[in-house]
Chain A
Amino acid sequence: MAAVPAVSTDVPARSRSSGIAPALRRFAAQRAGVVGLALIVVTVGGGVFAPWLTRYDPTALAMDQALQPPGPGHWLGTDAFGRDVLSRVLHGARFSLEVGVVSRIIALAVGASLGLLAGYYGGRFDQFVMRMADVTLAYPGLLLLIAVMAAIGPSKTALFVALGGVGWAGVARLVRAQVLSIKEREFVTAIRSLGASDRTIIVRHLLPNVLTPIVVIFSMGLGASIMAESSLSFLGLGAQPPHPSWGSMISSGLDYLRVAPWLSLAPGAMVTLTVLGFNLLGDALRDLFDPKLGRATRR
């Protein structure tokens, strides 16, 4: 924002005090957010370092080791094929996080671009984009995902497409609403009167101003994406065997619930902790950056 420093100092008027250090201090004061971050570090760390944290291959069969209860050799026991549950849970973290992050990036990229353009240009394009968003949001979320997955067939790419393709609408609505309020502000008028092009205004001035809500909905949406992915995998519409995924592990463990409850309990606990982490972090970020965002980010 080097173009008009005198005007753009107005922009961060919303934040109580600027600078990284005070922001970090305020964040640290929110215990829930710190707990959320810690949970994320543990689950993400477990996923990233999975190959080094466990010596078992998550897909290697060992029938003589089948259905071992949790103990010193296998901390979380083994499944009906003798596969180490801890190793599968950790590798499942990789899958869930990968699907969550990639699909959220797709949702944000598509949603934020369309929201920016729709909000800035208005007119027919705006109408079209918003009507598409309305139709997307008219479905109960998981139901549309189920229909999309049924249509393209279960695979990792399909999960990216489905979760991204359904998630864009909420982002677009939110970003558009922000743009509508920002574009009438004086600094935008000032920049425009100085001869800035549409492109400059959108990329250099509007985008930075909608980044905060984008960060907040990224965190909240990531939890929701992970939840949706595990639901789809649970229904058999997501990850396909032998690939470890939390949702499919819970569902295949159901057959052994009486004799080996850890098969379903362990992956379910992981989903809960991970989603909890992102929800707590998202709540904390929202309170930190923009309390007004409130209910708009939830459905």
Chain B
Amino acid sequence: MFSYALRRFLWFVPMLLGVATVTFLLLHVLPGDPVLSMVGERYDADTLARLRAEMHLDDPLPERYARYLGNLARLDLGTSYVTGVPVWNSIRERFPLTLRLAAAAMAIAVVVGVGIGVVAAWRRGTPLDYLLVGGSVVGVSMPVFWLGVLLIYLFSMRLGWLPASGFGNGNPLYLVLPAITLAQASTAYVARITRSSVLDEIHETYVKAARAKGATEARLLFRHALRNALLPIITVVGVDFGSYLSGAVLTESIFAWPGLGRFTLDAILKRDLPAIQGAVLFMAILFMVVNLAVDLLYARVDPRVKLGGRGGV
């Protein structure tokens, strides 16, 4: 176990470097001129040239790469071209809002998804099962942003129950629609995995033994089968973390939620290079950390997991 964890940690460093390099290369082939987008066309050529020099935009690529890595090591993600605020400060300010949204969404996904999955497994083969399975397939196929649009139309425009956009100074009512939207794909996914894992467990001997002992069907499902099916479910929620980050960009843009996703999109639309770079890198690294944690947790909880193969699961 220890050597497996160590190996995963050692592997993490070159991966970090790889992700940092790819992010750098991607954004430094950017064809637009960040100076122009920053100051507009108000300035003469000399001023623009001076600004370019100040921002080191004319330096050769290897030099910029070396400086980028050096700054990165000191957690310096540069300063936004647009606002002049250090990118790391903006991320620290925005990220908790995204985390709050993602946590609410994850809670919905787990509770609703597991509920649907267990009920479908319990009533397997009945119309209810087909309805729930069908619903979850539709849920996986529906674009996140479209669900957001539907919810806004129904609950805030037609019924007027919930606010359509904004943060509302932390008022939880503002969290409801974005959280449901962000949870959608994951809920459907969790439901499918729960159903199939519970059905896998149902054929295990221990469930048969419990049934023979006279346990009720509901007890079999919740006390026995679900408990053992939880591991794959936890893994799925963890591995699916990337969909929360991707989804946050879409969800936050529809609901004007002032989190990291919205920040990223704004940066892209304004061609704010350091901000894009910082935000993308931050989310990619976060995703890697979560994946690593899930793998280690999985290996620790389930002794049947082979520790040899790297990047198992």
Contact = CB atoms under 8 A, between A and B. Distances in A.
Interface of A: 32, 131, 134-136, 138-144, 146-148, 150-153, 223, 227, 230-231, 234-237, 247, 250-251, 253-254, 257-258, 261, 264-265, 268, 271-272, 275-276, 279-280, 283, 299
A235 to B, nearest CB: 6
B59 to A, nearest CB: 19
B253 interface: yes
B180 interface: no
Contacts of A223: 141
A153 B146 CA distance: 24
A250 B145 contact: yes
What's the dominant secondary structure at chain A's contact region? helix
Interface string B72-94: 00000000000000000000000
16 contacts: A138-B284, A139-B242, A140-B246, A143-B249, A147-B276, A150-B271, A153-B31, A223-B141, A230-B143, A231-B145, A234-B143, A237-B268, A247-B143, A253-B149, A268-B150, A299-B242
Given A142-B249, A257-B152, A258-B157, A150 B276 contact: yes
B244 to A, nearest CB: 8
Interface stretch (B15-23, B37-45, B167-175, B296-304): B15-23
Interface in B220-245: 239, 241-243, 245
A235 B251 CA distance: 11
B18 A135 contact: yes
Contacts of A272: 138, 141-143, 146
B149 A264 contact: yes
B19 A135 contact: yes
A139 B19 contact: yes
Interface residues of B, number: 50
Given A151-B29, A251-B145, 6 more contacts: A140-B242, A141-B246, A234-B250, A250-B149, A257-B157, A276-B138
User: Which of B149, B241, B280, B284 lies at the interface centre, i.e. has the most chain A CB atoms within 10 A of its CB?
Assistant: B149
Given A139-B287, A227-B143, A235 B253 contact: yes
Contacts of A150: 27, 30, 268, 271, 276
B265 interface: yes
User: Which of A143, A251, A254, A264 lies at the interface centre, i.e. has the most chain B CB atoms within 10 A of its CB?
Assistant: A143
A258 B149 CA distance: 11
A103 to B, nearest CB: 17
A257 B291 CA distance: 38
Interface string B274-300: 001000100110011001000000000
Contact of B22 (A135, A261, A275, A280): A135
B166 to A, nearest CB: 15
A220 to B, nearest CB: 11
Nearest to B157: A258
Interface in B24-59: 26-27, 29-32
A257 B27 CA distance: 35
Given A261-B153, A279-B140, A138 B249 contact: no
B144 interface: yes
Instruction: Sort A-B residue pairs by CB-CB distance and give the 5 closest, nearest first.
Output: A142-B246, A140-B242, A268-B146, A276-B141, A135-B18
Given A264-B149, A279-B140, A280-B137, A134 B311 contact: yes
Nearest to B149: A264
B32 to A, nearest CB: 8
Contact of B249 (A134, A235, A250, A275): A235
Given A147-B26, A272-B138, A279-B137, A138 B283 contact: no
Contacts of A265: 149-150, 153
Contact of A299 (B149, B239, B283): B239
Nearest to A134: B15
A210 B311 CA distance: 22
B27 A254 contact: no
Contacts of B157: 257-258
A234 B242 CA distance: 19
A142 B138 CA distance: 20
A280 B22 CA distance: 34
